[in-house]
């Protein structure tokens, strides 16, 4: 009798508290998930065959999309930057402009976004379906650790493949810019590559390298986490896949800004 | 068969990736494998005004080395340069800091001398010329010679 008005009054406060606890709880689960995966990475035996399959899936089968998007990114950069620079009569700096923007920003970010769309969503769906069809529980019953068996190979594969794919993206993009700037718009070849050599430092390449390493971990971490803790039924898997792609993309862009302001 | 196709795919991917990474670091990042062949010389300038480690060292417009580091010695800028071993510098060579174009990069230009004696590795180029200070030059031009 006495509790009636108080619940009506405290209802919103209660739901706010519940929502906050949910957020904190899922953040903690999210962090613990990565900690668990890192811990199991260094405990033998290591599932080498699984890792190879994941590298094949994330890396080799993304090659075509990486090369395609890299080439067109470089070409459009070459075109637009040329049109801007020619107004100031400094089209000699096309090479460094294309190379620096690719190596420092566009290469790591765009490669990571493309791979998120191509491989990340598939990973979430695969692990999510294993979860709702109770295959993950079956692994546990068979005394196979699901984290070691499913998650660790994916995250290690992301760690290995992302820097390599970013490097491929950069090189293809630089040659795409070369195609437009030198072959189409008539800049001299020596100027394009020579100026690039004087302006690009090892520090720029390392910035891109650290970015791509961290993106590799972020994308595989988010995508496996969302699949591992998927909701119920087909709808749960579809929601998990959408969330994984959106969260990965947002985290890539946010983390890119932070790394860009911290790294030289 | 299935397994070897997988291995082949991973192999191709890793080879292409490492090739791309090494092209970037060797061609653009100027990483020298096995140290490269060359020797070091230093030169003390009153000011280096914009010269950076990694800037080029040239004779007659041809790149012969790089600036490795710049430090302060006795209130002068001591520039450590790495010179290709097939290029010998005479003792009376002159090192000067020049600008490419009007607003371009700074680089070190060496004018070869006529002496028979060469600068040994880790030696010093004694004759130096400070960079032109454009602001000073401009203000002199605008406000007349003060």
Q: What is the mean pLDDT of chain A?
A: 88
Same structural domain for residues B16 and B54?
Answer: no
Domain limits, chain A: 1-43, 46-262
Residues B82 and B128 in one domain: yes
Same domain, yes or no: B39 and B22: no
Residues in chain B within 8 Å Cβ distance of A63: 12-13, 16
Read off the pLDDT band of B34 (50, 70, 90).
very low
**What are the strands of the beta sheet with B56-59, ordered from one edge?**
B123-125, B38-45, B76-84, B62-73, B56-59, B106-111, B94-99, B127-129
Kindly tell me if the per-residue pLDDT of B132 is higher than 80. Answer: no
Mean pLDDT of B92-121: 83
Q: Say whether A167 and B24 touch across the interface (CB within 8 A).
A: yes
Task: Please state which of the ranges A101-105, A171-175, A176-180, B61-65 shows the lowest mean pLDDT.
Answer: B61-65
DSSP string, A73-97: HHHHHHHHHHHHHGGGT-GGGHHHH
A55: closest chain B residue by CA: B10
Residues B103, B46 within the same domain: yes
Q: Are residues B40 and B25 in the same domain?
A: no
Mean model confidence pLDDT for chain B: 82
Cβ-defined contact of A197 to B16 (cutoff 8 Å): no
- Encode burial over B5-27: b for 16+ CB neighbours within 10 A, e otherwise: ebeebbeebbebbeebbebbbee
Considering the domain architecture, whether residues B10 and B65 belong to the same structural domain is answered as: no
Co-location of B25 and B39 in the same domain: no
Question: Over the range A156-176, which residues count as b (16 or more CB within 10 Å of their CB) and which as e?
Answer: bbbbbbbbbbbbbbbbbbbeb
Answer yes or no: do B44 and B25 share one domain: no
Query: Residue B17 is nearest to which of A56, A165, A202, comparing CB atoms?
Result: A165
Range of the domain at B12: 1-31
The answer to whether position B24 is within a domain reads yes
Q: Do residues B26 and B39 share a domain?
A: no
**What's the pLDDT at A5?**
56
Please indicate, yes or no, if residue B26 is contained in any of the structural domains: yes
Q: Which of A2-16, A117-131, A209-223, B54-68 has the lowest mean pLDDT?
A: A2-16
Q: Please give the residue that has the higher pLDDT: either A241 or B74.
A: A241
Q: What is the pLDDT of residue B30?
A: 66
Judgement on whether residues B12 and B50 belong to the same structural domain of the protein: no
List pLDDT tens digits, range B82-104. 888 888 888 888 888 888 766 66
In this structure, are B8 and B75 located in the same domain?
A: no
Q: Rounded CA gap, A132 and A122, in Å? A: 15
Domain total in chain B: 2
Cβ pair B31:A61 closer than 8 A: no
Residue B102: its pLDDT value, please?
A: 66
Percent of chain A's residues with pLDDT above 70 = 97
Residue B15 near chain A (CB below 8 Å): no
Same domain, B12 and B77: no
Angle formed by the axes of helices A152-178 and A3-41, nearest 10°: 80
Q: How far apart are CA A136 and CA A225, in angstroms?
A: 13
B51 min Cα distance to partner chain A (Å) = 12
pLDDT confidence of residue B61: 83
Task: Supply the pLDDT for residue B31.
Answer: 62
pLDDT of A186 > 90? The answer is no
Residue A147 has pLDDT above 90, yes or no: no
State the Cα–Cα distance between residues B110 and B58, nearest whole angstrom: 6
pLDDT for A124 equals: 93
């Amino acid at each position: 009798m006495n509790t009636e008005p108080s619940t009506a009054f405290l209802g919103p406060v209660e739901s706010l508290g519940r929502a906050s606890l949910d957020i904190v709880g899922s953040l903690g689960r999210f962090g613990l998930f990565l900690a668990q995966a890192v811990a199991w990475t260094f405990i033998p035996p290591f599932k080498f065959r699984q890792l190879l399959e994941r590298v094949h899936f994330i890396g080799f089968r993304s090659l075509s999309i990486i090369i395609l998007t890299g080439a067109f990114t470089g070409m459009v950069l070459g075109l637009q930057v040329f049109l801007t620079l020619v107004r100031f009569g400094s089209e000699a700096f096309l090479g460094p402009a294309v190379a620096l923007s690719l190596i420092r920003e566009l290469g790591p970010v765009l490669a990571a976004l493309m791979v998120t769309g191509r491989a990340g969503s598939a990973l979430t769906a695969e692990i999510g379906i294993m979860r709702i069809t109770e295959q993950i529980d079956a692994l546990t019953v068979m005394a196979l650790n699901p984290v070691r068996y499913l998650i660790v190979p994916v995250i290690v594969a992301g760690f290995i493949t992302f820097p390599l794919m970013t490097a491929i993206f950069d090189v293809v993009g630089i040659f795409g810019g070369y195609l437009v700037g030198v072959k189409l718009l008539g800049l001299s070849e020596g100027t394009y590559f020579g100026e690039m050599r004087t302006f690009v430092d090892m520090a720029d390449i390392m910035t891109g390298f650290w970015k791509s390493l961290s993106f590799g971990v972020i994308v595989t971490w988010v995508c496996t986490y969302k699949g591992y803790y998927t909701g119920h039924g087909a709808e749960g898997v579809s929601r998990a896949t959408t969330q994984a792609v959106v969260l990965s993309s947002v985290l890539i862009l946010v983390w890119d800004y932070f790394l860009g302001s911290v790294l030289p | 068969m299935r397994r070897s196709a997988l291995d082949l795919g991973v192999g191709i991917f890793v080879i292409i990736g490492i090739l791309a990474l090494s092209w970037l670091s060797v061609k653009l990042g100027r990483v020298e494998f096995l140290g490269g062949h060359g020797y070091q010389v230093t030169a003390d300038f009153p000011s280096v005004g914009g010269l950076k480690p990694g800037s080029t060292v040239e004779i007659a417009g041809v790149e012969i080395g790089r600036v490795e580091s710049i430090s302060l010695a006795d209130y002068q800028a001591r520039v450590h340069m790495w010179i290709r071993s097939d290029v010998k510098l005479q003792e009376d060579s002159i090192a000067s800091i020049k600008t490419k174009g009007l607003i371009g990069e700074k680089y070190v230009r060496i004018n070869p001398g006529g002496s028979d004696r060469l600068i040994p590795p880790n030696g010093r180029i004694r004759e130096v010329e400070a960079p032109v200070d454009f602001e000073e030059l401009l203000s002199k031009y605008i406000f007349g010679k003060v």
